Structure 1
Amino acid sequence: MLSQGYQMNESELRPRVFVAELIQPGDIVLTTTPEPMSQTIRKITGADISHAMICVGNSSVIDSTGDGVHARNLARIILEPGCAGHVLRSVRPLTTDQLRSVISFARAAVGTRYTMVGATKSVLAGFVAGRRQFCSRLVAQAYRDVGVNLVSDADFCHPGELLVSAALVEVPNVLRNLSLEEEADRREDIDNVQAMRDSTNALLREARKLSSEVESLNDIDAYLIEHPEGDEHLVQALRSSRYLELWQDEFERNSWQYHVALMEGHDDSEKLKQRYCEELLEDEKLCQNRFILNHAGYVTVNTLYPRQYFALKVALYDNLTQFHARRIKAATAWLERRGLIQPAPLHLLRPHTSEWFASLREWNPKQAAITEAAIQAAGSSDVCSVCADESVRDYVLISMPSAGPGTLRLCDGCFRIRSVDESMRPF
């Protein structure tokens, strides 16, 4: 809980930025700007801030503004001279499951339209919550979803209520002044996350031509299940918005993150590269890989409701999973070379065990269901993963996949077919 008697001092006359390494997933970031609307909100609420965001990963926050709910790069947020900023953390630490749910809630809202009416009513009471979002509602609802009540009414609250919440404590020393040189560089730098926001909004605008009920990207999926006639329009929207291509821009912009040799030659300091690698691996431990989860989701929905839109999403998340795995591999190798972490032993999953099916189901639930059905029909797990024939051997792929078990139980015929494109060895 934070006192409202906060006073500016002379050090705050410089633009400031957040110290990203002190901010953890699940933290609540409160800011303000010199804009008239922000000034009005501060005057009405009596707080020194007017906007709320939630941290979902390394230097990544999600918030709701006039262009909807989107991810933003915390490193790109500059507090103008005289503008306050706070970072709040749950007094009672969230469990890993709670934290994952909070992050998932925020990510699921991406694209949802902002409601100025709701934001205005948030200082009042007795209104029914709608599906559109505003900043403090998004934060409070994400926490309420895991049983943590930050405010009395998560559907209508303002940032000032979060600031004084007894369920939150302030994280100290999270701001630092920008030097003149840093300020010039940062203001010239491009906010690359803006491209994703623009692309998402373009896709949603086209989807809303078909249905005014579409608020988030998830709503497009639900609409398309019920309205297959919208597939062609949404496929065109997916392509024209560049939603399918943005990962290529990211790869070209940060190619050094995808190969350890390029990372070694990158001009960042050893300290900065170490922090990047460690934070990336820490995020990977904390959160289930959303690319893998989304891939599995679209494999399932496209099996039940075949649509070209869903098929394109399957291919997209296949690519994203592979490139994310390359980042993890490069960061791991860089840290291992310096003895900062120990190489992890390769753990191979024996085909058709419960662990093997869990891994396959997470990546490709359709293939998992086919294999389970084949085993059930054969009455034995000692059959081919593909055709259920007997006389089988267990194999491991020479090049382990980005997701899934990477092992198979194959008959001689299926081995000959699969090994043409995928090198494997018995184990």
Structure 2
Amino acid sequence: MKYILDFEKLVPGDIILESGNSKFSPVIKTITDSIYSHAMIYVGHSIIHALTDGVYSTNPQRVLTDDPKGLKVLRLKSPLTEQARNTVVNYARNLSGSIYSVPEASLSAVLGKTRKSSASRQQFCSRLVAHSYRQIGVSIANNPDYCTPEDINRSAKLNEITGVLKPADEQEVAFAESDNPIRENQRRMFLWLNQTREVFAKRKIEIQTESDVASFLMKNNDLDGLVCEFIKDSEYLEHYDYDKDVNPHRYEIKALLEKCSSAEHALEVFFGEINKEPSEIARHSNSYFLSGLNFIHLGLEYHKLHKQLYRNLLLMSHDRLVVLCQLAEIFRQPKLAEYCNYQTNYIQRII
């Protein structure tokens, strides 16, 4: 029996501890006297975490465990305001692309009991989670710079949330173990980011995230063309097409109907898909607006490329919603069809 997170019971900002099965997991668990070796943060239909190849996102539906005790969800005892939750979530999201530091992580079991701070901007799993909460003035560990998953597990600021695991059915296991298009997107991002890091390092500038690139290009605009070549060569800007190849049912009504075994299953698929779209549209429309504004203000090709990227991502949401609208109409759900049309009309207005 395998178990999976019931992500409908999660709220953005929830912390997920995992027993883990990486090559470092047994060592971490032994040193920290814990059953957990990994910490992640749920940001809404996605999880942000740091592994040895860097910081990136993953789908919570891809997190499986053989042991129901192998996953644990923690939530802040004091309810978060919407503003505070957004601060935590956005900070974690913006760390995507950061470099993982094995040496820094290795010091946590010892330095976690001290107040020693770190000058490093590199990440590891529990630091990422603790730093995200530090942005709102909440310390979930004695030392947010050096902490372990077990330090977070024992935090007096957090409560365990029960009932968030469920047995995974065959379809859920198959999906969790299938090829992950997000990993391909991360591979492309790290490809151009690593090349950009090397160029900026020659000017003694440290690049960790995409936000760093945008910030430092303002004073190093002579590198704009070179960085944009890195981005285009990595095919990062074309990743939106990759999802169409991996998940054709999201873009073709015939493929979606073939995926549905019954009317009940069709509605289940519908709600699984439709619930993702509002937050995606909100994030991408905001990024589309800011990229356009930055391009007008700074004239950098970097922002022009990103404006086009977010436009394409919004168009993908539009295409997915059109298919969902067709599904709702086939199963005579006019309110659901209207809900889809409202969002497609919004996208059309802003782009």
Tell me, yes or no, whether TM beats 0.5.
yes
Shift of 1:188: 5.5
Hey, what's the Cα distance between the residues in 2 that align with 1:345 and 1:264?
Answer: 17
Aligned to 1:92: 78
1:402 to 332, 347, 351: 347
> Which structure's residues are more often helix, by fraction?
2
Hey, what's the Cα distance between the residues in 2 that align with 1:50 and 1:338?
Answer: 45
Shift of 1:335: 5.0
Shift of 1:121: 2.2
Aligned to 1:154: 144
1:111 to 97, 101, 114: 97
Give structure 2 stretches of 5+ with no counterpart.
none
Aligned to 2:239: 246
Aligned to 1:207: 196
Residue 338, structure 1, aligned to residue 338, structure 2: no
Deviations 1:185-207 (A, max 9, x none): 45762122110111111011111
Which aligned pairs between 1:320-399 and structure 2 lie closer than 5 A?
320-331=313-324, 334=327, 337-338=332-333, 341=336, 343=338
Aligned to 1:301: 294
Hey, what's the Cα distance between the residues in 2 that align with 1:273 and 1:199?
Answer: 33
Hey, what's the Cα distance between the residues in 2 that align with 1:204 and 1:153?
Answer: 29
CA RMSD of aligned residues (A): 3.1
Shift of 1:168: 1.9
- Larger Cα Rg: Structure 1 or Structure 2? 1
Which aligned pairs between 1:186-205 and structure 2 lie closer than 5 A?
189-205=178-194
Q: Secondary structure at the match of 1:146?
A: coil
Residue 33, structure 1, aligned to residue 20, structure 2: yes
Task: Give the 3 Å change call, closer, same or farther, for CA 161–303 of structure 1 in structure 2.
Answer: same
Give the structure-1-normalised TM-score. 0.70
Q: Secondary structure at the match of 1:57?
A: coil
Hey, what's the Cα distance between the residues in 2 that align with 1:275 and 1:95?
Answer: 30
Q: Which has the higher contact order (CA 8 A, sep 6+)?
A: 2
Q: Secondary structure at the match of 1:62?
A: strand
State the AA in 1 paired with 2:213: I
Task: Give the 3 Å change call, closer, same or farther, for CA 34–82 of structure 1 in structure 2.
Answer: farther
Hey, what's the Cα distance between the residues in 2 that align with 1:258 and 1:102?
Answer: 32
Task: Give the 3 Å change call, closer, same or farther, for CA 22–401 of structure 1 in structure 2.
Answer: closer
State the AA in 1 paired with 2:193: L
Q: Secondary structure at the match of 1:226?
A: coil
Residue 18, structure 1, aligned to residue 5, structure 2: yes
Q: Is the 8 A contact 2:84 2:136 kept in 1?
A: yes
State the AA in 2 paired with 1:169: N
Aligned to 1:229: 222
Hey, what's the Cα distance between the residues in 1 that align with 2:152 and 2:268?
Answer: 30
1:44 to 31, 49, 60: 31
Aligned to 1:361: none
Q: Is the 8 A contact 1:109 1:216 kept in 2?
A: yes
Shift of 1:208: 0.9
Hey, what's the Cα distance between the residues in 1 that align with 2:350 and 2:240?
Answer: 25
Aligned residues: 340
State the AA in 1 paired with 2:224: D
Hey, what's the Cα distance between the residues in 1 that align with 2:259 and 2:213?
Answer: 40
